[in-house]
Structure 1
């Protein structure tokens, strides 16, 4: 594609897990890509392979402050946010600010540039759900003042202000509700179950499972998630849409699968369940199937083997770093 014809896209949270994979995808689609990240949870190693490319540039910037990007912009993907319980317990105010002030700044930028904007919401808007699977029409069961409330309510506000800009200003918006996603570039020590389990198994340690391990999650491989987001961006659908894998399993079973796939003899050790930890997570993806013609294609074993291989390639001293935890402080 001629440079004059190339579409230009801003991706916030570009050095993070999903943000970096999105940068790769849009580079592969021959876009001019601007990555933006304040590096509070990002890792430049995720995108360093892009720095040499003429159609990639990087801005080290916090989107909670005024965002200026010179020149035209056709699209904005807002993926800047802490994304694990460890992060939003450690930096709760920054989590709230990026979901509110950051989203407001980027919606304003999209309005001034006449750009389409897709914001990354998550299944956390459903809180600890009382129904399963969770459809987009479910309003959720959220504790706004609990430890997870800073993330849950930031995402709920993010959706509300995005729809307000869509309805009041006619802004071209998209909202993706992301369910548990895994794959290469997930931070090893971010406290989430899957990377924690893999790291513990590779170190020959016991796997720490919260509660009784019967709570469920539905894990989507990163390439499937990126494909769903890509299709949603170029669809005509402005309402929130679930993108995730409806293949549900218990945390106990996930731990056993990882022990088996790593070939180690780790055991399971149970620790207290954190406050407001969701008991069920399973997306209803009927809208994604119907509107986007999207469905996950990577089976869990294949995805887990790819992810385990990624961690096995890490420097030994990095793999030895202990994972953070977020135990229920009231117990």
Structure 2
């Protein structure tokens, strides 16, 4: 397996990145895991540290990087509102300067690069479900814009580096993903609900709970990354990656309470500004080009996720 043997994963100690590192090591690749550990955690890759084909590098993607690689997965960026709104200027720098640095590295080394974009490029969508040709409904001045517009700019940079410098790029628009190793304080709905339920605390639902989300289990998402990276050069994307199964936030809360056996009650709070009312991917393109669709149901994926957070709660770290 010589193609893309030496692989760089930025954000590699994060939730998605650490699972991707696992799979790449299983495939026999040499993996450089790069992370500044702002939201990533080195404990997510402790089990790989001694592996002869794994290297951990503490580095910020906003700074230039001079190494030799065959392929790059650029996953580095805070991805939850609590984290990306903590330092919005740095969030924008991570998306924009990080993309410039990683695309520059790909240009110099001839590496193929997969850019982790997001469903947030669609903003609060006016079409449902969202298809890749939809340009979005994003508020460029709102509190979520540092992430939404940063990722939109990163996509633009990918296309311009491809057109101007012939860099081989792949653009993945990632929808809600969950599973073990999610950050317990990321404020995302799945981790929030599980921790609240495990502690028998009120489940905080914003708005009336009728807003919808689609939840993809992490193993399915990592499989999509691998397929996209190894897809023919002619397929760039962007491509939606997510589970099209749509659930209301209230349905998710009720399922988590049931699976944890919690005594928690649902508590409603005001809906945050610019919070999307609907989020569901159209994954027809991924099906055609990658022969991919998620295989894990929400209930199946929630069980190992709950087990993971139970361990954190027992250890007093969540």
TM > 0.5 between the two? yes
Q: CA deviation at 1:116?
A: 0.3
Q: Give the secondary-structure state (helix, strand or coil) at the position aligned to 2:76.
A: coil
Q: CA deviation at 1:32?
A: 0.4
Asked whether the 8 Å contact 1:37–1:59 carries over to 2, the reply is yes
1:286 maps to 284
Q: How does 1:307-322 map to 2 (within 5 A)?
A: 307-316=305-314, 318=316, 321=318
1:154 maps to 150
Asked whether the 8 Å contact 1:176–1:241 carries over to 2, the reply is yes
Question: In 1, distance between residues paired with 2:278 and 2:268?
Answer: 18
Q: What stretches of structure 2 of length at least 5 have no aligned partner?
A: none
2:177 maps to 181
2:228 maps to 232
Q: CA deviation at 1:316?
A: 2.8
Question: In 2, distance between residues paired with 1:282 and 1:83?
Answer: 18
Normalised TM-score (structure 1)? 0.94
Q: Deviations over 1:182-210 (max 9, x none)?
A: 00000111111110000000001010001
Q: Deviations over 1:44-84 (max 9, x none)?
A: 11001101001000110001011121xx3110000000000
Question: In 2, distance between residues paired with 1:169 and 1:77?
Answer: 19
Which 4+ stretches in 1 moved above 2 angstroms?
A: 315-319
1:259 maps to 257
Q: Give the secondary-structure state (helix, strand or coil) at the position aligned to 1:314.
A: helix
Question: In 2, distance between residues paired with 1:302 and 1:247?
Answer: 13
What is the alpha-carbon root mean square deviation over aligned residues?
1.2
Asked whether the 8 Å contact 1:9–1:33 carries over to 2, the reply is yes
Which of residues 49, 52, 68 in structure 2 aligns to 1:54? 52
Q: CA deviation at 1:139?
A: 0.3
Q: CA deviation at 1:317?
A: 5.2
Q: CA deviation at 1:89?
A: 1.2
Asked whether the 8 Å contact 1:174–1:238 carries over to 2, the reply is yes
Asked whether the 8 Å contact 1:6–1:32 carries over to 2, the reply is no
Asked whether the 8 Å contact 2:4–2:71 carries over to 1, the reply is no
Q: CA deviation at 1:5?
A: 8.3
Asked whether the 8 Å contact 1:6–1:30 carries over to 2, the reply is no
How many residue pairs were aligned? 316
Q: How does 1:36-185 map to 2 (within 5 A)?
A: 36-69=34-67, 72-185=68-181
Normalised TM-score (structure 2)? 0.97
Question: In 1, distance between residues paired with 2:146 and 2:176?
Answer: 18
Question: In 2, distance between residues paired with 1:34 and 1:165?
Answer: 23
Q: CA deviation at 1:6?
A: 7.7
Q: What stretches of structure 1 of length at least 5 have no aligned partner?
A: 322-331
Question: In 1, distance between residues paired with 2:38 and 2:105?
Answer: 22
Q: CA deviation at 1:318?
A: 3.0
Asked whether the 8 Å contact 2:221–2:241 carries over to 1, the reply is yes
Asked whether the 8 Å contact 2:71–2:113 carries over to 1, the reply is yes
